[in-house]
């Protein structure tokens, strides 16, 4: 069977899902076209829809996003925020951050989404533990996920949701037989990251073959804490 780098599930299934995953938002369509033309990594259509559903389900007041790119995911998640909710999103590249701010302004969400130019790996370590979030969306450099995990968990409220994108990395994370040598560091670190998620004492994690692979991790509450909350 041929290996298809464009999908981690059977290509015809991916095609069917994407045919059904449509929206009528002209700005999002424009951003998708811009991303394709300029080779900017944004969430796959089915992952974007998953993020939309998750935020509308959780109704978070505070979201931390690591990896703004052009603001595509931030705009999608903002639609599911609680009425007074806010998103803080981190972007390393200053030019990309400015593009994101302009797109967010065009979406009418400048009061909801704050774009911060920062190296997330360093920035997270400076945040106080009182600065907790209802949801953390990890979509920055894949080789850095492992180094950001403990801070992401620390900053996530109990019962909060950690979402990590591109976790299967075109299927290469799961299969040595289709391992791109130039990606060896990323793949090894993603594997370590998945192992760390699954073994983490404060997280319960599910791995989905959605888009390019997504993990959903809930920061668990002990039975004692659940009893005291009642």
Q: What is the pLDDT of residues 116-157, one digit of tens each?
A: 999 998 999 988 877 899 999 999 999 999 999 999 999 999
Q: How confident is the model at residue 12 (pLDDT cuts 50, 70, 90)?
A: confident
pLDDT of residue 13 exceeding 90, the answer is: no
Tell me what pLDDT residue 51 has.
Answer: 96
Residue 71 confidence (pLDDT) = 97
Question: How confident is the model over 77-96, as a mean pLDDT?
Answer: 94
Rounded Cα distance between 207 and 205, Å, is: 7
For 113, the 3-state DSSP assignment is strand
More confident residue, 177 or 18: 18
What pLDDT, on the 0 to 100 scale, is given for residue 129? Answer: 76
Q: What's the token pair of residue 13?
A: 């299934």
**Six-digit token pair at 22?**
């449509």
**Secondary structure of residue 154 in the 3-state scheme:** helix
Is a pLDDT exceeding 80 seen at residue 4?
Answer: no
Average pLDDT across the chain, whole number: 90
Stated as kind and residue range, the H or E segment containing 214 is strand 214-219
Percent of the chain with pLDDT over 90: 70
- How far apart, in whole angstroms, are the C-alpha atoms of residue 221 and residue 203? 9
SS3 state at 163: strand
pLDDT at 1 over 50: no
Across residues 205-222, what is the average pLDDT? 91
The answer to whether residue 100 scores a pLDDT higher than 50 is: yes
Residue 8: pLDDT band by 50, 70, 90 thresholds?
confident
CB 166 within 8 A of CB 140: no
Helices (H) and strands (E) in the chain, counts: 9, 7
**Given pLDDT bands bounded at 50, 70 and 90, which one contains residue 9?**
confident
Say yes or no: domain 11-229 is CATH 3.40.50.2000. Answer: no
The pTM is what? 0.90
């Amino acid at each position: 069977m041929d290996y298809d780098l464009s999908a981690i599930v059977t290509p015809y299934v991916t095609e069917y899902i994407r045919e059904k995953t449509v929206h009528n938002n002209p700005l999002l369509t424009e951003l998708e076209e811009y991303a394709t033309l300029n080779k900017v990594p944004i969430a796959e259509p089915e992952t974007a829809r998953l993020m939309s559903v998750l935020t509308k389900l959780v109704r978070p007041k505070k979201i931390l996003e690591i990896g703004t790119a052009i603001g595509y995911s931030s705009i999608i998640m903002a639609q599911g925020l609680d009425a007074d909710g806010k998103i803080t999103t981190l972007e390393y590249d200053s030019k990309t951050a400015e593009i994101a701010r302009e797109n967010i302004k065009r979406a009418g969400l400048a009061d909801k989404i704050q774009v911060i130019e920062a190296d997330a790996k360093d920035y997270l370590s400076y945040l106080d533990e009182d600065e907790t979030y209802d949801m953390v969306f990890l979509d920055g450099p894949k080789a850095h996920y492992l180094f950001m995990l403990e801070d992401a968990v620390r900053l996530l409220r109990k019962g909060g949701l950690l979402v990590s994108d591109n976790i299967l990395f075109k299927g290469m994370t799961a299969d040595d037989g289709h391992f791109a040598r130039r990606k060896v560091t990323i793949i090894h670190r993603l594997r370590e990251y998945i192992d760390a998620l699954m073994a983490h004492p404060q997280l319960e994690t599910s791995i989905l073959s959605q888009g390019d692979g997504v993990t959903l991790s809930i920061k668990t509450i002990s039975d004692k804490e659940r009893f005291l909350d009642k």
